[in-house]
Structure 1
């Protein structure tokens, strides 16, 4: 029986299925922390993971939710600690993840008196949290905790519980049957929302009538992998996954053309240009310029967030439901297509695209290692069940284009928020959730310098808890905020401004060795394969410090006039890397052109053989 509010909250977290919290201590949450220690000593506690910064706590909680489907929980102290959580909570908000943050606060009598670390936390968290509430009495604690978890699960959003320091130590009182007192339960709500039969029939009619059907599959379809594949095989559909939905469809499915957009594939672009039916499954894909022209395609969308239905493309049927339940009801209504030429064309286009990517990965650049080759060689070697994380820079480009997550593999990153440095806490959270799997974190040097380097200290602290200690960090070391440098050129026609873009060079492999880890420095293309072999065979932590070229362009599969014009103008305006960027871009474009010609010749030969 809990004797204090803190003890009750800890027990309630366990009732909600929580076994691990990502936390950082402080006096504002001190009584709660003390009870966490007491529960741990009694064998009734929670695994307490303390990284080097509260922002990491929130990003870890978000990643835990993404990789496990459970509610992620983070804990921080009042004011400064709570403020540091906000970026990670926005990551949960914008990627629709259930996270509960427990934040300390100064005592009740301090409210509104300008006391030290007393701030209006409810106002602070009002935008990021779907539900935010301060517990002001023991009788209220049960309802607030339960409401936060129910809301996080049902709405797939972060929620915040504020726990004043004096309330934390108050004697717990069970809520009674009285006015203004709620008695609640720690029972999760069902999210298996099924649409009405008439909506399923309307969706099936549209899909069955389509001759060129494309499924755009997002992270909201996690858990519905088999249903998605069954529907695609029935309808002859091509499959495109969003960057966060990459793990939903195995990378070796022939008609899975991977991603769409600036870091996507040409077969995905071609599908969107030519499809007559678009089915969006669990995605709020934000780049409308890559979707079909208005009126080109009939559209069906399935999503658990009803406010996002029909938002990116005009839909003919908008289904509020979860993807697995909806597809389970839809599959019996879909008819088997005899003509699979659309799907076969999609698969052929993907084979050509993979050949082109392989050729791009083999290119040599004078100013550093080819980053494409680094990812290309990693992809060849990913062990079964591996988990790969990427950051918000060019790592996302190369991850999207070169990594193929086979069945059972996982991968993720900060999606709509696209915050830097998330790759490292994501990788750590994945390792805590799946300690028997190999985890590979891919991160740029700019993001690694933010907080990623610090987190190697956290890895050192908890390494002994992982049954398989194989944990690899790939740092793209090019002394530049490369993604932003290219965005300056391609979006704004501005030359790179070294003052803002340069990153101080650091010996990242040396830093790893200082902590007792394996550090491997890669300065030439011919060292890449051996580096990955050594890292993936190592029974511990490895940092690969890959000195990559910053001028390899993350070329989109379809180069628009605006893209080309802005890049050219930027280079003409005195870009400090102008000559190298022009040379490396030309190399990439020539390779792309050669592979396109090869593909065209191959298609022509196939057609002649058919005749």
Structure 2
């Protein structure tokens, strides 16, 4: 006779689950016991136990992002369940299918103010698309199936609550009685295709456009070939969101990388001049970087219907899968013969690459240039590499300097932009692809949150990985740098050291204490050698990179407000004013030199073109 817990474990296996991320506790104790029985019988799931429930939920979200499968996390009642919230919001805001299984006190404890008894359905009601307490064995089947079906179709987290006594009840087959549902563990298709009328309307807009831009998000994953073919026919330029970076290979010459504060100048400039905008699988939230209203005709394709037409006024909004839509759209697209729009973007990217190379070459007195650290990493990324970035300046340098070629992956916490996610993301990626080299890039503030703990998780499980190469880059500058710059640029406030300073820690020493390779580096000239050694090392390497806290993450276009606020903040007694002014000046001077050089080269090319015409 099996109990409810045994059934739930067998059922999630039917849904394709082979790995879960959990943390134990008495509220989920009977279920944990069933996991152990299933493991002994060879019918269980791989149970990964990191150091905190928040990490469990972030790992489940990362697993969904990197694999396309449903991520599953498990926690005990009230305190454990509450700790899942941040990771589940990451799944919610980045549209990821995650199912959380959480414990609860016994049925008779409901509403009696018992220890660790709380209203979990109310707690999870905002973050979860579906949350339900299993109150009887007959109900378990339909609740589990509905949670997985909803997570897959709505691309949102769902929560199954298992009271402790229900976990151990004998399982019964649902009957035909009234109020009893009999369900199936069959995943519905999400490959929705639009009607031909919508496809033709979209094709008419794209065919009429002379300056077509595709903004490609993570929701276009799996549609790389279709996006590239549609762009070729439309003469379109490709921009990817930060989370869509892995969808389009970086060596596509008219891929201008990202848009916005972390993006490129060619992406910024084409948004100011494009006449047609096609949004593919993206809910890009920074409307200030999109075309002005009325400037461009727009088409959007997305599986989340409530996000259609939300960021920019669209003429055609298609609720469908990106790949299916493009397969139907491609035969309707006309081949553009004028490729001047694409060529302008290609030329702009050459100039932009010169600019960011110049920024990376600058040397600072108060630490290494973080842009240079990332640029040297990018030069050495091996085939199949997976790179994670954290919220903060690590995302800035990741966006500007890291170029993901075909077969590489990269991701981060997107719309939530939570700190510390880079570590659980990297570890989850390593479990999903144990043969691939993984690089986690993270700031010292985020690393101190829970990131340092996850080196313990790595130590516990690394023997399972076919390729043990796992590298952690810590940007060590003793500052919550992104927030420091935001204080200046957004609110014209000086840096408040009381809130911003990060206690200096020997991160390399911490790695060595755990038996890993820990390397401290302080000189820009040494970082290339350190990266070479890290990729050659058959194991875990932590690179403790002492970088400048004053290097500004300069956007591709500096607004008057940005410059005004920064100047005001520095004049208000910013404790880092001298270093910030000096390092900003160096960065902008290097960028200006690169632009002047590019302008002169462009003039040479124009002169050559004139000579060709005259001849």
Aligned to 1:132, the other structure's residue is in SS state strand
CA distance in 2, matches of 1:255, 1:129: 39
Counterpart of 1:200 in structure 2 is 199
Question: 2 CA distance for matches of 1:26 and 1:221?
Answer: 39
Q: For 1:91-110, what aligned pairs fall within 5 Å after superposition?
A: 91-110=90-109
How far apart are residue 355 of structure 1 and its match? 1.1
**Cα displacement string for residues 506-554 of structure 1 (whole angstroms, at most 9, x for unaligned residues):** 0000000000000010111011011101111100000000000010000
Who is 1:52 aligned against?
Answer: 51
1:590 to partner: Cα distance = 0.6
Map Cα deviations across residues 186-206 of structure 1 (whole Å, 9 max, x no partner): 000110011110000000000
Q: For the residues of structure 1 that align with 2:582 and 2:251, how far apart are their CA atoms? A: 33
Alpha-carbon distance in structure 2 between the residues aligned to 1:59 and 1:180: 36
| Alignment correspondent of 1:550 | 549
User: 1:70 aligns to what?
Assistant: 69
Aligned residue number for residue 504 of structure 1: 503
1:428-447 map, 5 Å: 428-447=427-446
CA distance in 1, matches of 2:468, 2:213: 40
Helix, strand or coil at the partner of 1:92: helix
Name the structure 2 match of 1:220.
Answer: 219
1:205-228 alpha-carbon deviations (Å, 9 max, x no partner)? 000000000000000000000000
Q: 549-558 vs 601-610, which deviates more?
A: 601-610
Superposition deviation, residue 585 in structure 1? 0.3
State whether structure 2 residue 136 is matched by structure 1 residue 142. Answer: no
For residue 244 of structure 2, give the secondary structure of its aligned residue in structure 1. Answer: coil
Secondary structure, aligned partner of 2:112? coil
Q: Which runs of 5+ in 2 are unaligned?
A: 611-615
**Counterpart-to-counterpart distance in 2, 1:196 and 1:608:** 50
- Distance in 2 (alpha carbons) for counterparts of 1:140 and 1:565: 61
1:481 maps to 480
> How far apart in 2 are the matches of 1:44 and 1:186?
17
Match of 1:311 in 2: 310
Other-structure match for 1:301: 300
Cα distance, 1:564 vs structure 2: 0.1
2:333 is aligned with 1:348: no
CA offsets per residue over residues 40-72 of structure 1, 9 Å max, x none? Answer: 011111000000000000000000000000000
Query: SS at 1:216's partner residue?
Result: strand
Residue in structure 2 matched with residue 34 of structure 1 by the alignment: 33
- Provide the C-alpha distance between the structure 1 equivalents of 2:511 and 2:533, rounded to a whole number of angstroms: 15
For 1:191 and 1:342, locate their aligned partners in 2 and report how far apart those are by CA, in whole Å.
34
For 2:333, the equivalent position in structure 1 comes to: 334
> Aligned equivalents of 1:198 and 1:237: distance in 2?
22
Q: Does 1:176 align with 2:171?
A: no
Residues in 2 aligned to 1:590 and 1:331: alpha-carbon distance in whole angstroms: 45
Deviation, 1:281, is 0.2
Q: How many residues align?
A: 610
Match of residue 7 from structure 1: 6
Residue aligning to 1:158: 157
Using the TM superposition, give the Cα deviation of residue 607 of structure 1 relative to its aligned residue in structure 2, in angstroms. 1.3
- TM-score of the superposed pair, with normalisation by structure 1: 1.00
Cα shift readout 1:436-472 (whole Å, capped 9, x = no counterpart): 0000000000000000000000000001000000000
* Alpha-carbon distance between aligned partners in 2 of 1:34 and 1:374, rounded to the nearest angstrom: 47
Gaps of at least 5 residues in structure 1 are none
Match of 1:301, SS state, is strand
Secondary structure at the counterpart of residue 338 of structure 1: coil
Show CA shifts across 1:239-263 (max 9, x none): 0000000000001111101000011
Aligned to 2:573: 574
Give the whole-Å Cα distance in 2 for the aligned partners of 1:370 and 1:596.
Answer: 20
1:91-121 alpha-carbon deviations (Å, 9 max, x no partner): 0000000000000000000000000000000
Aligned-partner Cα distance in 1 for 2:323–2:245: 17
Aligned to 2:172, the other structure's residue is in SS state coil
Match in the other structure for 1:363: 362
* Aligned-partner Cα distance in 2 for 1:505–1:36: 41
How much has 1:80 moved relative to structure 2?
0.1
User: Are 2:255 and 1:256 aligned?
Assistant: yes
Structure 2 equivalent of residue 408 of structure 1: 407
Distance in 2 separating the partners of 1:214 and 1:600: 24
Taking the aligned partners of 2:558 and 2:230, their CA distance within structure 1 comes to: 32
Q: Which residue is equivalent to 1:286? A: 285
Following the alignment from structure 2 to structure 1, what is the Cα–Cα distance between the partners of residues 535 and 72?
Answer: 31
Counterpart of 1:419 in structure 2 is 418
> Matched residues in 1 for 2:313 and 2:597: separation?
38
Which secondary structure does the structure 1 equivalent of 2:185 belong to? Answer: coil
For 1:361 and 1:473, the matched residues in 2 are separated by 20
CA–CA distance in structure 2, aligned partners of residues 396 and 3 of structure 1 = 48
Which whole-Å CA distance do the structure 1 matches of 2:392 and 2:295 have between them?
33
- Counterpart CA distance in 2 for 1:549 and 1:233 is 42
Q: Tell me the equivalent position of 1:386.
A: 385
Q: Secondary structure of 1:173's match?
A: coil
In 1, Cα distance between the equivalents of 2:169 and 2:509?
50
Deviation of 1:424 after TM superposition, in Å, equals 0.1
Structure 2 counterpart of 1:190: 189
Deviation at 1:601, TM superposition (A): 1.2
Alpha-carbon separation, structure 2, partners of 1:358 and 1:152: 43
Distance between the aligned counterparts of 2:91 and 2:601, measured in 1? Answer: 46
* Inter-partner Cα distance in structure 2 for 1:380 and 1:581: 28
What is the distance in 1 between the residues matched to 2:87 and 2:535?
Answer: 29
Question: Which residue of structure 2 aligns with residue 266 of structure 1?
Answer: 265
- CA distance in 2 between counterparts of 1:594 and 1:395 reads 25
Stretches of 4+ aligned residues off by more than 3 angstroms: none
What residue in structure 2 maps to residue 495 of structure 1?
A: 494
Q: Does 1:115 align with 2:140?
A: no
**Aligned-residue CA RMSD in angstroms?**
0.5
Secondary structure, counterpart of 1:33 in structure 2: helix
- Counterpart secondary structure, 1:101: strand
**Mapped partners of 1:368, 1:314: distance in 2:** 45
Instruction: Return the offset for 1:143.
Output: 0.1
- TM-score using structure 2 length: 0.99
